[in-house]
Every structure is written in C-alpha cells, then in structure tokens.
Amino acid sequence: MNKIKVGIIGAGGYGGCGAIELLLGHPQAEIRALIDKQDVGKPISELYPHLKGFCDMTILDPSDPNRPDDFDVVFFATPDGVGQKEARSWLDKGVKVIDYSGDFRFNDALTYKGYAARIGKSQDHASPDLLPRSSYGLAELHRRDIARSDLVGNPGCFAVSCILGLAPALKAGLIEPESIICDAKTGVSGAGKTPSPTFHYPARYDAMNAYKVSGHQHVYEIERECSLVASREIRVTFTPHVIPLCRGILSTIYGRLRSGENARSAEEAYRSFYKEERFVRVFGPGKVLTTTDVRGSNFCNLSVNVDERTGRLVVISMIDNLVKGQAGSAVQNMNILFGIEETSGLLRPGQYP
C-alpha cells in the first residue's frame, strides 16, 4: 500500500510538532507538507531543533500556490475557527480532515454556539452543513463512526480524560448520573506555544490555580458523551486547574455509587468495558499511578476506587495531553479513517525519567 500522504496545517504549534514526531515513526504514513501562517519559509527544525536531520521541511504559507496539495488527509492543528472555514475545500477534493479544535466536535450549530460562547466567540459556525457529517474523534467510543467519516473533530484534551474515565460507570449504571464531578489538573503544555503572563516561567514554576471554574468549554463534550453512553441527559461539574509541569492531565472523577454497587463491581465494569482497548489500562485501588506513566505515549491509565465511607466512586484518569489528548488521538483517528491497524505508529512507551 502506498503511504498515507499527510498535510499538517498549523504545523508550527505544539500540536503540529506532536503530529510530526509521531508521523516520522509511522510506517504507513508520510508528511507531505507543513503549512502555517507563521514562520513561513523557515525549516521546521529551526523552530524545533530536535527535529534537525529528521524533518527539515520548510513551512509553507497556506495560500502559497506552489505548495503540494496531493494529500490523503490534512490535520488542522489550528485553534478554533480555522478548520470550519477551510475544511470544505479539502473535503471537496476528497481529502479527509482531522481538526484538533472544537470546530467539528458537535453535530449541530446550536450546541456549537454554546461551546463557542465559552471561548468568547459569538459568531455562528462558518460551515454548519458540515457538522452532521463530522465524527467525534474519541476512538474508544466512536471508531465505527470515525471509520465511516471523512471529517473528524479531535476531542479536547480534558474531555478525553474525563470521558474515558466516566463511560464505563455510566454504561454499567454504577453511579447516580446527576452526581458527577470532574476535577481536572493539566500541565502547561496544554495551553500551547504562545507565551503569556500566566505561563511565564517565574510566574508558573511554583504556582497552581483553578480557572474557568464551572465555565470551561470542554464540559459540553463531556456532557454530550456522557449523555450518549447513559442514554439520558447528564450535566457535570467540571473544574480545570493548571499545574507546574509540562505534560499530563490527571482528572479525578467523582460519582455517587448506586445501591448494590461496590469496589468489585466497579473495577469489573471498567475492566470489561476496556478489555479490547490497547490504549486504555485499568488499575484497581491501591496502586499509585503517576502522570509520568503515560507521558509521551498514547495511553490513558485509569485507577478505579470506591470510597466506602461515603459511597462514592473515585476514578483517577491520566493521559499525556499532547498525545492521547491531541496528536496521538489524531493519528489514531487517521489510522481508523484509512482502515489500517489502529495502533500503527503509536506503540511507543515514552521515556523516563
């Protein structure tokens, strides 16, 4: 088989870099072009010197008439608002699209509008007719949809950790659906490459904070997916925190156990739900899991606990926000889109310490 030809739009950000790193080691894909509005004309290895000798392709302007466009798939490793304007032209040429942002995570314009309001965007979706066509790129729950689709909305990093941590409980009816709280902690790389006062080293190295308390945009995806799994409308309380480390999301998820459920049934529900999944590892109580266990890899580690005294399920869900929470899921979705082995290019353990 010919290699899958990939174009990366927004190649200069952390999300683009993550895709490049993974695709360089992917046996069935090749990067055909790196596209970005910034740093046009520079080799990518000038921005990311660790790539020197591995990928020295020049960054091309999106509007450059000479840039290649014979892609099988494009990654929009771009912020909200770009993909919804530009995806159509690629789809029309038969190129599949994987978008990192929230642009294609929802199937209707109204839900999108609620999402967009939370990130300060008041405009309507630029391509509402594409929304029903998109699939939600969380492979563990939607791989059949993804396989039939040509437009994937890659999930939000927090959402990946929370949804994977909640789905088995909701599927098995372990918990009261109105009792869900997700307390999420993320490393700083999730905020991307652009400097800002709050991620300036001296301001961040010894500082943690909550932000967007009860107001983070990822809550919509989490609720939509939870509602789908539980077959009823679910709302969750979601609080994100920023922590002074680079890579890693740890979400601590709470729900009140339904009567009759216990630690054993909970662990069994999780093990059963994920028994075929290569990228989700389930652990029972008693084992301390750390975000470094998944750093640099596409895995989600889940620790399933029950607080007997208060009758609550407590699930700790961990991912690398730049891999399973972003570029890794994108590659996993690409593999599904093209019908190749879903784990291709993704079976890497990361590096320690």
Enzyme catalytic residues = 157
Q: Residue 242 in contact with residue 208, Cβ under 8 Å?
A: yes
User: Among residue numbers 13 through 72, which ones bind its own copies (CB under 8 A)?
Assistant: 14, 17, 21, 24-25, 48-55
Residues 6 or more apart whose Cβ sits within 8 Å of residue 68 = 7, 32, 33
Using rule CB under 8 A, residue 289 touches its own copies: yes
In the window 226-245, what residues touch its own copies (CB under 8 A)? Answer: 235-237, 239, 241, 243-245
Of 83 and 248, the one with the shorter C-beta distance to its own copies is: 248
Q: Which is nearer to its own copies, 152 or 250 (CB)?
A: 250
CB of 302 to its own copies, least distance (A): 12
Using rule CB under 8 A, residue 343 touches its own copies: no
Q: From 69-77, 105-113, 127-135, 292-300, give the range in contact with its own copies by CB under 8 A.
A: 292-300
Measured between alpha carbons, how far is 101 from 99 in angstroms, rounded to an integer? 6
Phi, psi torsion values for 321, nearest 5 degrees = -60, -25
If one asks whether residue 293 binds its own copies (CB under 8 A), the answer comes out as yes
Half-sphere exposure of 159 (CA within 13 A, CB side): 27
Q: Of 306, 331, 334, 346, which lies in the binding site for its own copies, with binding defined by CB under 8 A?
A: 306
Find the shortest distance in angstroms from Cβ 98 to its own copies.
20
Total residues at interface with its own copies (CB under 8 A):
85
Bond prior to 353 in cis (omega within 30° of 0): yes
Contact call for residue 112 and its own copies (CB under 8 A): no
* Residue closer to its own copies, measured from CB, 83 or 187: 187
Of 18 and 156, CB closest to its own copies: 18
Residue choice 93, 108, 210, 272 for contact with its own copies (CB under 8 A): 210
Residue located via tokens 């899921």: 329
Q: Which of residues 248-277 bind its own copies (CB under 8 A)?
A: 248, 250, 252, 254
193 binding its own copies? (CB under 8 A): yes
184 burial (CB, 10 Å; 0-12 / 13-18 / 19+) is buried
- The sign of the dihedral angle between the CA atoms of 186, 138, 99, 1 is positive
CA atoms within 13 A on the CB side of 14: 16
Identify residues 138-177 at the interface with its own copies (CB under 8 A): none
Rounded Cα–Cα distance for residues 268 and 282 (Å)? 10
Give the tokens for residue 47.
Answer: 């921005």
